Structure formats: C-alpha cells, structure tokens
Structure 1
C-alpha cells in the first residue's frame, strides 16, 4: 500500500492481527534496505500482533524525495502512525533503523509502549572496529579506499554501490550462503544518493549517548556477538545508558540474529512484549 506523507509517497504493509497491539518495524541500510527482510523474519508475530512495515523515503518502493534526514524519517514514521489511527506503538529497529527508532522514542516518548533494538548504536564512535574487521577479512574487493568512500557517503553510482555491497556481504553472517547472497543482491533497490546523505551528513553528527538516560520505555537490546558493522561494543554502550533495559547477546549470529537464529529471536521478542503488558488486553 502507498500513502502520501509529508510530501512523499511511502510504501507500507500491514500484517497480522488487527485486534492486537501494533508493532512498527524500522529497516536499516538507507538506500539499500527496505521492509521485505523484516516482513519475512517477523511475520509469525502476526498471530497476536498487528505488524506495520514501511520503506523509508529514499529506500525500497517509497519515493526518492529528500530530505533524507533523521528528523524527516522520524516525522514520516509518526505520520504513518497517525494515519493508521494507532495511539501508541511498540517499535523495533535494526541497524541504521535502530538510530531512527531511538530518535523516535526521544522525540515522541508518549507514543511508545516498548522498544526493541537489534544490532544498532547510539553513536559512531566504534566505526573503527568495523573497518578493522573488514580489512582483516582479506575478502576480494575490500580495501581501505573503498571502505572510506562507502562509510563516508562518497559512492558514485548505483552500480558502484552494488559492487561495494557485494564485497562486504560475506561479513554479515556467521554462515555465508553465496547463492542466497547473490539472490538478495540482485533484488536490492539501490539508491546511492540516499546512502550518501545518510553516511556523509547524518551519521557524521549522530551521537545520542548522553540522551539515552531520558528513555523511560522498556527496551530490549539484542546483538549478534559476531556483528562486524555494529559490534558488541555499540550494544554495550546502549545497555550502559538506558535505565530500563533487557540485554541479550546471540552467540551464533552476526549482524542479523533475527534471521540467523530466528526461532530463538522471536521467542525472546514474545517474552519481552508479554512481560511489558502487550498481551494484557487479550482475554
């Protein structure tokens, strides 16, 4: 489905139990990710919850209408919440989507019941660990010049963006499936301009570490211990700053424990939501 929000046509999907409480899912990777991965990973939660997935502006099937700022993306999320007539939401954000989730909670605390963070960060201070891990992998196509341009938002075309992502894909999971990775790569909607703004402008100034103490909602923090791009140190920082948190590390996962250990991840999410009153209205 599409809806015009803040001057941009936004793609979204609603799955699951329309009588249940609502979970919003915020995808990562501006300009290379969209909601399809989360739909596949989390659709089983639809037996109890109403699940709302969207492609952020400039990504996936949504229009490429700037600005691609955190402020705009967060406003779009809240505009969709308002459009759907949902008073309060549970919100789950992974990777870069976790940045937006955290900023949403800080801007609209009264609209949030609980928060789930997956392999994300409150700052960019651990970027050097990501670069070190990538360079030590000795994978073909990975070198410092390429990583610098990728992480600093200096990608020159969608074709180059695709080649860069192809090179780093083996880093994301504990067990690399070359066939699955190739299929994924060929189905990505590449939007290098969106990526460039996110990494050249937004990420350079992103640091909400000092504001984590303001978050009152219950928060589930999750991370795969083999994550290269948002290493465990990022989640450690989140856990140290957020008062009301549950922190779980997944021993057999990289950047995507919700995929790599799907059953275990969904069981944890259900437990967290149940403990925080998400099922209290169900008789």
Structure 2
C-alpha cells in the first residue's frame, strides 16, 4: 500500500493480525535496499506479530523527497508506529537499517519493547575495515576505484551505482555463488541520489557509540562471523555498550545470517523475543 508519511509516500506491507504486537523492520543500504529483505526475514514472524516492512524514503518504490538524513528516517519510523496505533513496538534493523534502529532506540527509548540488530555498526569506522577486507579477498579482485566511489557516495547515476554494486556483491556471502550475485544485482532498485547522500553526507559524522547506554529495551545483536563490511568487532562494541544486550555470532554466514542460516537465525530471534515477552499482547 502507498502510505503518506511526513509529506512523503512510502510503500508499506503489513503481515499478521491487527491486534498482535507490532514489529517494524528497517532495510539496509539506502538507495539499494528495499522491503524485500525484511519481508522475507520477518514475514515468518506474522504468527505472533503484526509485521510492518516498508521501502524507506528515497529507496525501493517509495517517494524520494529529501532530506535523506538519519533524523528524517527515524521520524518516518515513528510516524509508522503512530499509524499502526501502538505506543510500543519491536524495532528491527540490519546493516544501515541497524543505524536507524539504534538511533530510534536512542531518541525514543520508551517506545521499544525490544530491539533486534543484524550486521551493523555504531560508527563509520567499519568502512576502513571493509576496505581492507575487500582488498585482501582471495575470492575476487575488486576494482579499487569502484569500491572507493560507492563507499564514498560518489556514483554518477543509477547505472553507475549498479555497476559499482555488482563489483562488491561477491564479497557479501559466506559461500560465493556467481549466479546468485547476478540475480541480486538484477533485482536491486537503484536510487543513486539517496545512496550518495547516505554515504557522502551522513556516514562521515555517524557515531552513536557514546549514546548506546541510553537504550533501555532488551536488545539482541546478531552478526555473521565472516561479514566483510560490518565485521564482528563492530557488533561486539554495540553489545558491550547497550546495557544487558545479547550477542549471537553465526558461524557460517557473511553479511546476511538471516538468509544464509535462515532457520537458525529465526529460532534465535524468535526465542529471544519470546523470552523477553515482546510477543505478548499488552
């Protein structure tokens, strides 16, 4: 459905019963990501939650009215919460979506019943580790110029973003499948202006490490052992700084344990949400 949110139309999908606890999941990769990943990841939780997934402002099929700032994306999440008619909900975010999930939890700690993070970082330092990991990869030889341009938010247009994205996609999964890489590249909705703003404007100043102690809800931090772009060390930092947070590392995954070890990941997340009572009706 098309939903007007803060003067910008978002493409939104909802799964589960209308009276169930709400779970809102935020996709990663502004300008590259879409609701497709959180839909596949969290729709199976619709037996216990009212799951809301959406294309963020400037991504996927949603309208692209600026600003493409973390503050605006957090405000859009809170508007979705208000539209859903709930005071508290479960927030989930993977990769760059984890940035927004953490910032929401910091700004609105009273709104969250639980927080689920996946393969993310609390600052922009992961970009340095990611570059080292990309150049050291024995899997593929990465074009350094394309790597640096996509990471710096300096792509020229949608076609250039697609070319740079295809260059680094082989690095993401634990098991390399060239056909899967091509299928993912073909299925990606490219929005280069959003991507450029996220990586050229937002990322250089992104650092929430010192604010993580403000997060008061039960928090689960998950990460793939072989994640090249948001390595395990970043998740360890997050888990150490959020009071009472739990860290789970998935040993046979890269950046996407929710796909590469899907059944185990769902068991871990579902078990955590049940343990902290987040799946109980209020």
Deviations 1:15-54 (A, max 9, x none): 1232321110000000000011111122211111110001
Output the CA distance in 2 between the equivalents of 1:225 and 1:55: 28
Output the CA distance in 2 between the equivalents of 1:262 and 1:214: 30
Output the CA distance in 2 between the equivalents of 1:195 and 1:280: 37
1:145, distance to aligned residue in structure 2 (A): 2.3
- Report the secondary structure of 2:187's partner residue: coil
- Report the secondary structure of 2:183's partner residue: helix
1:203, distance to aligned residue in structure 2 (A): 0.6
- Report the secondary structure of 1:207's partner residue: coil
- Report the secondary structure of 2:14's partner residue: strand
1:281, distance to aligned residue in structure 2 (A): 3.6
Residue number in structure 2 paired with 1:48: 48
Name the CA shift for 1:213/1:219 in 2 (closer, same or farther; >3 Å). Answer: same
Output the CA distance in 1 between the equivalents of 2:140 and 2:246: 38
- Report the secondary structure of 1:93's partner residue: strand
Residue number in structure 1 paired with 2:218: 218
Residue number in structure 2 paired with 1:89: 89
Output the CA distance in 2 between the equivalents of 1:36 and 1:55: 9
Residue number in structure 2 paired with 1:195: 195
Q: Given that residues 49 and 279 in structure 2 are in contact (C-alpha distance below 8 angstroms), is that contact kept between their aligned partners in structure 1?
A: no
Q: Given that residues 139 and 167 in structure 1 are in contact (C-alpha distance below 8 angstroms), is that contact kept between their aligned partners in structure 2?
A: no
Total equivalences in the alignment:
282
User: Where does 1:42-191 land on structure 2 (aligned, <5 Å)?
Assistant: 42-137=42-137, 142-191=142-191
1:138, distance to aligned residue in structure 2 (A): 5.5
Output the CA distance in 2 between the equivalents of 1:164 and 1:268: 34
Output the CA distance in 2 between the equivalents of 1:281 and 1:205: 39
- Report the secondary structure of 2:247's partner residue: strand
- Report the secondary structure of 1:78's partner residue: helix
1:71, distance to aligned residue in structure 2 (A): 0.5
Name the CA shift for 1:163/1:140 in 2 (closer, same or farther; >3 Å). Answer: farther
Output the CA distance in 2 between the equivalents of 1:250 and 1:212: 23
1:157, distance to aligned residue in structure 2 (A): 1.2
Q: Given that residues 224 and 249 in structure 1 are in contact (C-alpha distance below 8 angstroms), is that contact kept between their aligned partners in structure 2?
A: yes
Output the CA distance in 1 between the equivalents of 2:229 and 2:82: 33
Q: Given that residues 172 and 228 in structure 1 are in contact (C-alpha distance below 8 angstroms), is that contact kept between their aligned partners in structure 2?
A: yes
Q: Given that residues 141 and 167 in structure 1 are in contact (C-alpha distance below 8 angstroms), is that contact kept between their aligned partners in structure 2?
A: no
Name the CA shift for 1:279/1:75 in 2 (closer, same or farther; >3 Å). Answer: closer
User: Where does 1:5-24 land on structure 2 (aligned, <5 Å)?
Assistant: 5-24=5-24
Q: Given that residues 24 and 53 in structure 1 are in contact (C-alpha distance below 8 angstroms), is that contact kept between their aligned partners in structure 2?
A: yes
Name the CA shift for 1:183/1:126 in 2 (closer, same or farther; >3 Å). Answer: closer
Deviations 1:69-100 (A, max 9, x none): 00011101111111121211101100000000
Q: Given that residues 140 and 167 in structure 1 are in contact (C-alpha distance below 8 angstroms), is that contact kept between their aligned partners in structure 2?
A: no
Q: Given that residues 57 and 68 in structure 1 are in contact (C-alpha distance below 8 angstroms), is that contact kept between their aligned partners in structure 2?
A: yes
1:149, distance to aligned residue in structure 2 (A): 1.4
Q: Which moved more, 1:131-140 or 1:36-45?
A: 131-140
Q: Given that residues 116 and 219 in structure 1 are in contact (C-alpha distance below 8 angstroms), is that contact kept between their aligned partners in structure 2?
A: yes
1:253, distance to aligned residue in structure 2 (A): 0.3
Residue number in structure 1 paired with 2:278: 278
- Report the secondary structure of 1:34's partner residue: coil
Q: How large is the Cα RMSD of the aligned pairs?
A: 1.4
Q: Given that residues 141 and 164 in structure 1 are in contact (C-alpha distance below 8 angstroms), is that contact kept between their aligned partners in structure 2?
A: no
